[in-house]
C-alpha cells in the first residue's frame, strides 16, 4: 500500500539500504513528509520501503497518515 506519512514528532528511524548492509539510524524532524510503500504493519511498527529502495522501521506513534 502506498502512503504519505507525516512525522508528528522528532524520531529516529532504523534504515537498511540493502539486504546485505548494516541498518543505521536516520533522524526525522517533526512535520517532515515521506512517500512510502507500507510493506507490513503491526500495533507498534511500520515496515516501509522508500523511493530509493531502502527499507525502514518506523514507530507507528511517530507518524500520521495523510490523505491526498
46-59 pLDDT, tens digit each: 999 999 999 999 99
User: What's the confidence (pLDDT) of residue 67?
Assistant: 83
| 2-66 is a CATH 2.30.30.40 domain | yes
d(C-alpha 65, C-alpha 67), whole Å: 7
d(C-alpha 53, C-alpha 68), whole Å: 22
pLDDT in tens, 1-40: 999 999 999 999 999 999 899 999 999 999 999 999 999 9
Tell me the average pLDDT across 56-67.
96
Amino acid at each position: 500500500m502506498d502512503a504519505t506519512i507525516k512525522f508528528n514528532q522528532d524520531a529516529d528511524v532504523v534504515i537498511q539500504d540493502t539486504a546485505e548492509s548494516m541498518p543505521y539510524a536516520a533522524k526525522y524532524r517533526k512535520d517532515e513528509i515521506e512517500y512510502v510503500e507500507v510493506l507490513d504493519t503491526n500495533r507498534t511498527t511500520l515496515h516501509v520501503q522508500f523511493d530509493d529502495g531502502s527499507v525502514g522501521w518506523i514507530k507507528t506513534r511517530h507518524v500520521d497518515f495523510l490523505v491526498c
